[in-house]
Chains A and B, each alone.
Chain A
Amino acid sequence: MSRALVVHQAGPGVSVQDLGRTGYLSEGLSRGGAADVLALHEGAALLRQTVGAALEMAGFGGRFELTAPTRIALTGAPMKAMADGRALAWQASHLLDAGSVLEIGGVTAGSYGYLTLGGGLATPPRLGGQGAHLAAGLGRVLQAGDTLPLGHDAGTATGDLLDVADRWAGGTLRVLPSLQTDLFPADQRARFETATFTRDTRANRMGVRLRPPGAGFGLAAGQSILSEVIVPGDIQIPGDGAPYVLLAESQTTGGYPRIGTVIPADLPRIAQAPAGAALRFAFVTRDTGLAAERAFRAHVAGLARHIRPLVRDPAQIPDLLGYTLISGAVTGKEET
C-alpha cells in the first residue's frame, strides 16, 4: 500500500488545511486555509519541509493509522496524543512505524491542533488549494474511512521539540482602524479599548463571537452602510452589539459596520482563544502594525532556531540499547 493516513475516527472539526487560496476574492470565495497559520509553519519547521497541507483539528482529534513509517509533527493547541500506547509530546516531531495507530484526544488549551505529516498530505488541489473551505461547501470535514495520500518524504529529522510562546488563552489583540471605525461614537471607541471581552461558545472557522462585559456596541440608530470588502481580522458589530471577529473562512463582503481590524500577526491568538478566554483590544498605528508584521515574518523564517532535541524519558525508549547515549562513546550494544 502506498503511504497514507487512514482515518478510523475523527472529531467533528477535522479537515485538511493549507495556507488558503488567493485570487478568488472577486468571485466571492475567501482565502480560507488554516485558522492558525503559525501552527502550520511550526509543523513544517519541525519536519524541515516547506509548508503544505496538514490536518487541522478543532477541539478534538481522532484515531488515525499510518500505512508506512511516517514522520509527524504535532503543533497548535496542545492535545492529548498517544501512538501505540505511548504518550507523544506536543510541539514536537516523532517517527511512527508502519501500522501505528495515532490517537489524538481533546485540546488541553487553545482551540485548533495540527497534525503535519512528513512529505505533507498529497490530496489533489481544487481551485489551487488543498484546504477544505467549509462555508463554501468546497471540501468537507474528515470522517471514518477516509484515506489521505502522503507525499514523498525526503526528510529524516525527528524527535525534536519546538519552543512555542503561549497563544492559547486569549490576551490583548492589536487592532487597526477599519472602514467604519470613525462612524462609531468616540465613547464607544474608548470603551472598546478598555473593556475585557469573553470569547463566546459560538465560534468556528468563519469567525469568533465575543461577549462584551456590559452594554453592546453599534452605530447610531438609522445609520446603515453599504456592503464592502471584508478582510480576515475585521471586527464586525452585528445587530446584537457583540463584536464578531472574522477569520480566514469569512464571507468576502459585508454590510455590518466594523469597529477595527485585528492585525495579521495576532490572528493566531484570536483563532486559538478557547471559549471563556478573556480578550482585549488595543488600537495601534500603521507603523506599529507594519513592525509587528515584519517581526512575525522574521519569526516564521527563523523557527528552526527554536528547535531542540526532545528530551526523552529512557523508560519510554523501546530500543534503548540501540542509542548512542554519550557522543563519542561506543554503543551499549557493542559493549556487550
Chain B
Amino acid sequence: MGDGQVSERFPQIAPVGLDGLLVRFGDRLDEPANRAALAFRAAVERAGWDGIEETSTSLVSTFLRFDPLWLSPDDLTVQLRHLLAAEDWYARPLPEGRRRLTIPTCYDPALAPQLDEAAEAAGMDRAQAIESLSGTQLRVTTIGFAPGQPYLGTLPPAWDIPRQTALTPRVPEGALVVAIRQLVLFSVSTPTGWRHVGQTAAPLFRPDSATPFLLRPGDEVHFPAISRDAFDRLRRDPAGGVTQEALA
C-alpha cells in the first residue's frame, strides 16, 4: 500500500477487551511507525492521566489499559485524538538512553540446528549467512511475548523468509531465531515457528537483579560470531559475554 493510504488510515484507535485501547500507527513493520508508537507511549506516560493503569508498545502500536468503571473509553478516545493531533509522531526521534550492545553468538550447527535451512531459504551458503547475521547492526523494535524478549530489525532483504508452518517443539533459552527480516532472541525455552540460527548466553531476564530486563526498545545490537569453545566458556559468565555502551 502507498504512504498516502497509511496516513489516511492511521493512526487508528481500536478497543482491546473491556479495559484497553490500542493506538495503531500502521499495519506493517516500518521504522517511522515503530518510532511513533514508542514516542506516543512515552507521551501518554508523561501526561499521567487519571485511570490509566498500564501502557506498552508492540511493533507499531501503543496499548493503554485503564479502569473502565473510572474512565469511559469514549472520553479516553477523545483525549487520545487530541494528543495524536498535537504533533507528527512519525517524525519523532528514537527514545533517549539507548545503548549499543554486543551479544556473542555461536553459529555452530550443533547449537544452531536450522542455520543451513534458513541460509538456503535466503539463497546463501552457511558462511555467507553467518557473515550477514553477525555483520548486521540491528535495532530492538519491541520487547514482548516473553519477559525481556526482543524483536530486532531489520535484516537485508534476502532474509524475508516465512516462518515454518510446523512448530519446532522447543528451542532453548538464548536461541537466536529468524524470519521475515527480523531476529528474535528467546528469553525462555519455547516452541516456535521461527528458525533457530544461533545460540547466545545473553541473560535477557534476571528477576532478582536491580535491572531485570537487559534490553530496551531502541537499543542497537549486533551478534558477532564466536567459536563453540568460546561459547562454552561464556555459559559460565553471568553476563553471557554481553557488553554495552551508551549511544550519544
By the criterion CB–CB under 8 Å, are B213 and A27 in contact? yes
**CB < 8 Å: which of B28, B69, B142, B147 contacts A294?**
B69
| Tally of A interface residues using CB under 8 Å | 39
The reply to whether the CB of A135 lies closer than 8 angstroms to some CB of chain B is yes
Contacts of B147 in A (CB 8 A): 24, 27-29, 136, 138
Contacts of B148 in A (CB 8 A): 27-29
Instruction: Compute the total of residue contacts between A and B using a CB distance below 8 Å.
Output: 122
By the criterion CB–CB under 8 Å, are A28 and B143 in contact? yes
Who on chain B is nearest to A264 by CB? B18
Given A178-B16, A229-B63, A231-B16: A22 touches B58 (CB 8 Å cut-off): no
A254 to B165, CA, bound (A): 16
User: How large, as a class, is the contact surface on chain B?
Assistant: 35 or more
> From residue 137 to 196 of chain A, which have CB atoms closer than 8 A to chain B?
137-138, 176-179
**CB < 8 Å: which of B17, B22, B165 contacts A176?**
B17
**CB < 8 Å: which of B17, B57, B68, B212 contacts A234?**
B17
The reply to whether the CB of A318 lies closer than 8 angstroms to some CB of chain B is no
Who on chain B is nearest to A263 by CB? B18
A226 to B33, CA, bound (A): 13
> From residue 25 to 75 of chain A, which have CB atoms closer than 8 A to chain B?
25-29
B interface with A by C-beta (< 8 Å): 14-20, 22, 24, 27-29, 41, 53-61, 63, 65, 68-69, 73, 142-149, 151, 165, 187-188, 205, 207-208, 212-213
Q: What are 24 A-B interface contacts by the 8 Å CB criterion?
A: A26-B55, A27-B143, A27-B212, A28-B149, A28-B187, A29-B148, A29-B205, A176-B17, A179-B22, A227-B151, A228-B24, A228-B58, A229-B16, A229-B20, A229-B63, A229-B144, A239-B165, A252-B145, A261-B17, A263-B18, A264-B19, A286-B15, A290-B69, A294-B69
Closest 6 CB pairs of A and B: A253-B144, A26-B56, A29-B147, A229-B63, A25-B56, A261-B17
A interface with B by C-beta (< 8 Å): 22-29, 126-127, 135-138, 176-179, 226-229, 231, 233-234, 239, 251-254, 261, 263-264, 286, 289-290, 293-294, 297
